[in-house]
Amino acid sequence: MTVSKDRLTVAEAKGLRTAKELEGHLAWLDTFTPAALGVLAIASGIYTYLGVSSLLEDNGAVSFFAAVAYSIAVSVGIFVFWSYMLRLLPAMRTAGGFIGLTVATMVGSLAIIAMSSWLNAAALAGSAAVEQHLENTVRDYQSALEQAHDIALSGQSLGREVERARQSFDALAELEQSGELSGAAGRGAVFRVLKQKSEELKNLEDQIATQQPLIDEAFEDGNRILARMRELTVAAGPVDMRSVRFSEESVKLAGVVSQLNQYSVATLVARAAEDLPASVVLPELDGRNSSVRDAQSATIDSVLDALDQRSKSLKNAADAVLEIEAPIETAYNPISAADAVIRYAGNFVPSWAGAIAIDLLPAILVFVLAVTQTAIRNGRDGMSIEDTLTLADLRAAINAMKDVEMTMGAADAAMHERTAKLEDGKPDKS
């Protein structure tokens, strides 16, 4: 039992020394902790001011004072809140009090993030976030331009289908002219029907061909506008001014995309394919005798069947182009720095981390202080006051006792002197 008591005494002495050492460290840290907390609060307030300024459209005196007032309120709130937590949370001895203040710390941290941290992030990465928005918009416009151009080119490819149909009718007309089709050489009724459809297809082919230069010119204009928009995305200068010019260019590019959509000839080809067999003007059969006229009639029926097949073929090709998904209508919507930081938060994780850390760094100090205070209490718990006295404390106590004894001795001497004077019958002049 004696050995156990000795070991316990050694453990208590070690715990006491640890507690004294930690108290000494805390006493030194307390000399600059409020100043450090004030610096963090002021820094957060400055970035909050920059974030608020980016949200206010008016640059007048009222907006300036409003931003200053908000940033000061944020700085004061952060300083007071963390001052409370640094003092109260580590001092809690009960589990209920510790849990309650911990919950209050979490709620307060969320409030600080809501009123300050996102504005700090806007100040840190607002311009970069707006540039990211511009870059994404450029990509959307480029995709829309390329898709509209591809659809227009797909419509131009229908020109080859039309050309093949025209060439087939031209070949049949030559056969008819030589007498190898209906048996009646010359330019009779069958020949005129074939040439009629050939000319219709030729006109459609010419219309398709005239669209190609327009498509190429519009696509080149769109690429030039895209180049200017990319330059504005990375150009020097305030992003707000660049956003205004970017918006102007985006309107022009939207017009170019709309033009490309109108240049697609798929609708024209589909309508022409439907009209191809329906618009046949049957001529009067001009054969010399009934057998020739019967041959012409049979040949015209075959031509009409061929027209119907060609019509379906062209209609299917045009429908395939029309079924291509049209480009999504893209429009540039200006966005503030704060909104851009929130929308593209995933691209600016370091900035968000810095903005939150400058506000919530004192939470680490609260945790460290709570752990340290717990260690100090563990080192002192179960000990009497005498056990916790150090040599310096003992010396101070002895000096205090001497001062008390001297004061009391002087008081007793004065009392005795006064009593002696009273007994001698001398008046007390004191």
113-171 pLDDT per residue, tens: 888 888 888 888 888 888 888 888 888 888 889 888 888 888 888 778 777 777 777 77
Contact between 189 and 296 under an 8 Å Cβ cutoff? The reply is yes
Q: Which two tokens stand for residue 47?
A: 């970035």
- Residues 351/121, Cβ–Cβ less than 8 Å: yes
Supply the pLDDT for residue 179: 61
Contacts of 252 (CB under 8 A, 6+ apart): 225
pTM: 0.65
Distance, in Å, from the CA atom of 246 to the CA atom of 244, rounded to the nearest integer, reads: 5
- So what's the pLDDT on residue 315? 79
Q: What share of the chain is helix, strand, coil (3-state, %, to 5)?
A: 85, 0, 15
Question: What is the model's pLDDT at position 328?
Answer: 76
- What CATH number was assigned to the domain covering residues 131-336? 1.20.1260
For the chain, give every residue range classified as CATH 1.20.1260: 131-336
Which tokens in the block code for residue 288?
């010399």
Residue stretches of the chain with pLDDT short of 50: 1-8, 281-282, 286, 430
